[in-house]
Amino acid sequence: MRYAETGFNLEIDLSRGSVERVATDPELTELYLGGQGTAAKILWDRVPPEVEPFSPDNLLIFSAGPLISTAVPGANRTSVDTFSPQTNFYSHSLFGGFFGPELKHAGYDKIVIRGKAPNLVYLWINNDKVEIRDASHLHGKGALETGTLIKEELKQSDAQVAAIGLAGENRVYMATIEHANASASRGVGVIMGDKKLKAIAVRGTKDIHVARPLELFELCNPMYQAIYDNPHCGDVFLHEDDEEWHVNNFAWGNARERKKGWWNKEIEERWTKISDDVRLRWTGCYNCPKDCHQAIKYPGRQTYFQKCYSKLTYCMAAYKELDFNYDILGLTQEYGLDGYSTPQVLAFAIELYEAGILADKDLPEFPSDSGERFFYLVEKIVRREGVGDALANGVYHAARQIGKGAEEYDHNSMKKFEQLPLKLKMVNYPYFLMYSTSEKMTITQTEGSYPQIPIADKKEREAFVKNWDAAPERFKKWYLEWEPRSHPSIEASVHICDWNETMHYVDDAIGTCAFLSSFRGQFGGRPPYHLYNLPDFISHATGMDMDPDKLWEIAARNRNLIRALNIRRGLRRADEKPPEDHWQIREPEMEAKLLDAYYEHKGWNNDGIPTKETLDKLGLDYVSADFLQRGILTDGESASPKKASAKKKKKK
Amino acid sequence: MTDGSEKRIVKQIKVDLDKCIGCRACEIACSAFHATPKYSSTNPARSRIRVVIDELNDCYVPIRAGDYTPAECTGRHTYTIEGKQYSQCSFCGVSCPSRDLFKEPDSGLPLKCDMCENEPPLEEPMCVQVCPHDALTYEETEEEAKQEEPREEMEIGLETLAKRYGLKKVMDAIARMSREKKG
């Protein structure tokens, strides 16, 4: 008997209209745990690098990791994995809410979708009964509206629905998948749209069994109060009306300008009132006592759920006030647009217009007000009308399609992907590494365990380190030695990057939320879940033997496998750099040293390719064999960087 | 017992709809607590408490499984509270034919909340324990209760008839019989 997992995947071929329930190998759970890890294995086995993201052979995988739907509080994040047309690399997103648990109760750990439907369809999973149903009547419907319509049509108020909006249907690269109070961002909606899959509805009423029930429950039960009481976890910032930190540190417009000193008490009072007026309530995800989502009812808009920093992304990009942000989110969430990348595309377009690169003929009747311009551009983008067709491909591709010097205005993307609008003074060593080397395309999915800044007072620092249960021993020394305004050493920086990313690989394989774990050590250092208590949860739930070292090893295996997916698609050292102007003051020599040291620590060669030795040690022999066969690695020597680089140029 | 009343403890789960964040931890804890062996599985479909959620209308109502009924209501109320519409069913804990709620998913047998009074009884029901937001709170109050008269054989017989044919049919029959007698 399998514990915590269902032991079955649902394989859907939309081209052929076939549905299969496939038993999975328990050995894979031992090696990769699940979620993102086992999804990466499927992508490696079945999507060779020649497959274009828009090919029917690309897969779209929804994974519910092993802890999802068990009693472990806050384990509810569904992982969505595919290849992105924007980056041509591995694309990964996560969403909370209730979808993953329902899928598990329906009897599946994953939905693996291949092919393309001839017409718009949706998938209806009701325990063992699975149907591919016509969705032509849902064409153009809003993402949450689609969920409501499907539940009414099926007479299944308990079903959980994940859907795309018009943006996904029209293959907008910034398209999300929306579900209840959650969104899967970073462009996975574009593949769902390409496959002509409007939505997935799921209802499950089966039991999920765990290996050691009493032990697990004794661990879980106190966690509700502990998580609730812990001030350092959940969405700490979203609950604050004092936005000084965000408005001072993040850049406005097209990631251009920091407005230090702009924030004041009067604005805080005004903005607080705006939020209070439109907020219906705070809501949580499945089995989690934190309430990280605002249910928002803006006049004239349907109710929607706001989360994270999307509270400010649109208004800061448009130089507007908070009410504008709440208003436009009501529209963009229904269109299914990513609240992080979309505002940057819009602000980029406005800059191009002001620079004369986009002319009146490109933007007929373009309004003068920046807010109205945002609404105008959103409509063009989701319909791919006129210049919206280029903008719908994101800043990097739009700049090159538009030409006439537009490339100069693409200054905040990395690996062709829009980054958070952060423009800072001095290069930060660990952050340089996290930005440069992450496969997850965004800093929020990489940072989070090691504190961002040291506590100034040495005594307080000592007190902080004393009960720092989450941290491996080596970090305590480094943190104690860390004086304000000084850089961690190269060695410390490498390890900080390593620990931070590793914890995300842990969460993303088992289903725990980063807001309770990998993202929530960086302020306060007291995440409810960490490397040293998670093994017990995993062990009691699944019955596997687990300890911190083994968990770290699995995370490293997943990290290297996902790295390998991108290496096979051409990723090399030359791609590994933050946005050019992310920091004003750079240290090229030091940055090269940092990258060298990080690659060495990871067991990668100087071009960022995992060596045969590293891969084999992690049980990824099939990866090293493939690398050798393709000439990405060569026999004898661990790799041939020159050859690899040459190959890459040819590919491009 | 000369006045026919006695003191008794009434157990109450108080529900504050404004405090509910819709996380459904109550459902998970309930299903685990009532699993056999205890805690061995989770399954909200087996829970004796369910949060009826209508996200777009901001309705979040935890309801507790009550009695079984073989027949659905003849009609339903719709309540408007602070501008939000709730169906009568949103507050009703009865396991009834009109919906899937409070039925064992495999057998369809009705589920009923037992306030976690298994041996040994919990200090607070499980659902309350996992609700730090205090959308669910537990209270015991002492109430005067009328002592129940022992039921007569006829009443028990009538109840059986009502169960079998439906109360309305039995009442119609009695009304007809009394009319016929008068006439």
Do A81 and A92 touch, CB atoms closer than 8 A? Answer: yes
Q: Is B43–A285 a contact, with Cβ atoms under 8 angstroms apart?
A: no
Relative orientation angle of helices A265-278 and A322-335, to the nearest 10 degrees: 40
Q: In the prediction, which pLDDT does A652 show?
A: 38
What region does A234 belong to: left with phi over 0, alpha with psi -120 to 50, or beta? left
- As a whole number, the mean pLDDT across chain A is 96
Q: Which residues of chain A have a CB within 8 Å of the CB of B45?
A: 105, 158, 204-205
A 10 A CB-CB count for A491 gives 12
Average pLDDT over residues B137-159: 83
Q: Which residues of chain A have a CB within 8 Å of the CB of B56?
A: 144, 148, 302-303
- Burial zone of A43 (CB within 10 Å; 0-12 exposed, 13-18 middle, 19+ buried): buried
Pick from B21, B56, B129: which is nearest to A148 by CB?
Answer: B56
Please tell me the distance from the alpha carbon of residue A378 to that of residue A342, in angstroms, as a whole number.
9
Q: Shortest Cα distance from A155 to chain B (angstroms)?
A: 10
Q: In the prediction, which pLDDT does A47 show?
A: 98
pLDDT in tens, A269-299: 999 999 999 999 999 999 999 999 999 999 9
pLDDT in tens, A161-173: 999 999 999 999 9
Q: How many helices (H) and strands (E) does chain B have?
A: 4, 7
Rg (CA), chain B: 20
Q: In the prediction, which pLDDT does A638 show?
A: 52
- The pLDDT confidence band at residue A648, using thresholds 50, 70 and 90, is very low
Residue A650 has pLDDT above 60, yes or no: no
- The pLDDT confidence band at residue A645, using thresholds 50, 70 and 90, is very low
Token readout for A245 is 């930190």
Residue A128 has pLDDT above 70, yes or no: yes
pLDDT in tens, A36-52: 999 999 999 999 999 99
Q: Is A171 helix (H, G, I), strand (E, B) or coil?
A: coil
Rounded percentage of chain A residues whose pLDDT exceeds 90 = 96
Rounded percentage of chain B residues whose pLDDT exceeds 90 = 61
Residues 6+ positions from A36 with CB-CB distance below 8 Å:
A63, A65, A79, A81, A92, A505, A508, A509, A558, A562
DSSP letter string, A313-325: HHHHHTT--HHHH
Please tell me the distance from the alpha carbon of residue A396 to that of residue B27, in angstroms, as a whole number.
46
Q: Shortest Cα distance from B136 to chain A (angstroms)?
A: 13
Residues 6+ positions from A224 with CB-CB distance below 8 Å:
A73, A289, B25, B129, B130, B131, B132
pLDDT in tens, A237-247: 999 999 999 99
Residues 6+ positions from A382 with CB-CB distance below 8 Å:
A165, A166, A167, A170, A172, A335, A337, A388, A392
Pick from B22, B32, B56: which is nearest to A284 by CB?
Answer: B22
Angle at B172 between CA B170 and CA B178, to 5 degrees: 105
CB contact, 8 Å: B133 with chain A?
yes
CA nearest neighbour of A497 among A454, A563, A455, A447: A447
pLDDT in tens, A320-339: 999 999 999 999 999 999 99
Q: Is A229–B105 a contact, with Cβ atoms under 8 angstroms apart?
A: no
B14 phi, psi to nearest 5 deg: -90, 140
Report CA-CA distances (Å) from A62 to A67, A92, A177, A451, A493: 15, 10, 11, 32, 33
Q: Shortest Cα distance from B93 to chain A (angstroms)?
A: 16
Q: Which residues of chain B have a CB within 8 Å of the CB of A98?
A: 24
- The pLDDT confidence band at residue B183, using thresholds 50, 70 and 90, is low
Q: Is B60 helix (H, G, I), strand (E, B) or coil?
A: strand
Residue B85 has pLDDT above 70, yes or no: yes
Residues 6+ positions from A365 with CB-CB distance below 8 Å:
none
CA nearest neighbour of B20 among B48, B55, B66: B55
Q: Is A46 helix (H, G, I), strand (E, B) or coil?
A: helix
Q: Which domains does chain A have, with CATH numbers?
A: 8-203 (3.60.9.10), 233-418 (1.10.569.10), 424-651 (1.10.599.10)
Residue A8 has pLDDT above 50, yes or no: yes
- As a whole number, the mean pLDDT across chain B is 90
Residue A58 has pLDDT above 80, yes or no: yes
Pick from A158, A213, A224: which is nearest to B132 by CB?
Answer: A224
CB contact, 8 Å: A295 with chain B?
yes
pLDDT in tens, A350-384: 999 999 999 999 999 999 999 999 999 999 999 99
Q: Which residues of chain B have a CB within 8 Å of the CB of A216?
A: 39
Q: In the prediction, which pLDDT does A429 show?
A: 98
Q: In the prediction, which pLDDT does A641 show?
A: 47
Q: Which of A70-84, A106-120, B38-52, B69-83 has the lowest mean pLDDT?
A: B69-83
Rounded percentage of chain A residues whose pLDDT exceeds 70 = 97
Please tell me the distance from the alpha carbon of residue A483 to that of residue A495, in angstroms, as a whole number.
18
Please state the pTM of the whole predicted model. 0.94
Q: A202, A217, A296: which to substitute to probe chain B, counting the most B Cβ within 10 Å? A: A217
Pick from B23, B56, B132: which is nearest to A303 by CB?
Answer: B56
Residue B180 has pLDDT above 90, yes or no: no
Q: B19, B20, B21: which to substitute to probe chain A, counting the most A Cβ within 10 Å? A: B21
CB contact, 8 Å: A490 with chain B?
no
Q: Is A9 helix (H, G, I), strand (E, B) or coil?
A: strand
Domain residues of chain B, as ranges? 7-147, 149-183
Pick from A98, A216, A291: which is nearest to B39 by CB?
Answer: A216
pLDDT in tens, A458-505: 999 999 999 999 999 999 999 999 999 999 999 999 999 999 999 999
Q: Is A294 helix (H, G, I), strand (E, B) or coil?
A: strand
Residue A649 has pLDDT above 80, yes or no: no
Q: For every residue of A136-164, which 3-state class applies, written as one string?
A: HHHCCCCHHHHHHHHHHHHCCCCCEEEEC
Q: In the prediction, which pLDDT does B74 show?
A: 87
DSSP letter string, B61-86: EEEE---B-SS--SS--EEEETTEEE
Tokens 């809003």, residue?
A142
Q: Which of A148-157, A542-551, A631-640 has the lowest mean pLDDT?
A: A631-640
CB contact, 8 Å: A105 with chain B?
yes
Q: Shortest Cα distance from B116 to chain A (angstroms)?
A: 15
pLDDT in tens, A401-452: 999 999 999 999 999 999 999 999 999 999 999 999 999 999 999 999 999 9
**Amino acid in position B89:** C
Pick from A280, A281, A287: which is nearest to B28 by CB?
Answer: A287
Average pLDDT over residues A396-403: 98
Q: Which residues of chain A have a CB within 8 Å of the CB of B57?
A: 303
Residues 6+ positions from A526 with CB-CB distance below 8 Å:
A230, A232, A233, A469, A470
Q: In the prediction, which pLDDT does A640 show?
A: 45
Please tell me the distance from the alpha carbon of residue A139 to that of residue A540, in angstroms, as a whole number.
45
Please tell me the distance from the alpha carbon of residue A435 to that of residue A365, in angstroms, as a whole number.
39
B161 phi, psi to nearest 5 deg: -60, -45
Q: Is A224–B129 a contact, with Cβ atoms under 8 angstroms apart?
A: yes
Pick from A101, A217, A303: which is nearest to B58 by CB?
Answer: A303
CB contact, 8 Å: B49 with chain A?
no
B102 phi, psi to nearest 5 deg: 60, 45
**A560 vs B9, residue with greater confidence:** A560
Instruction: List B residues 135-174 in contact with A (Cβ-Cβ < 8 A).
Output: none
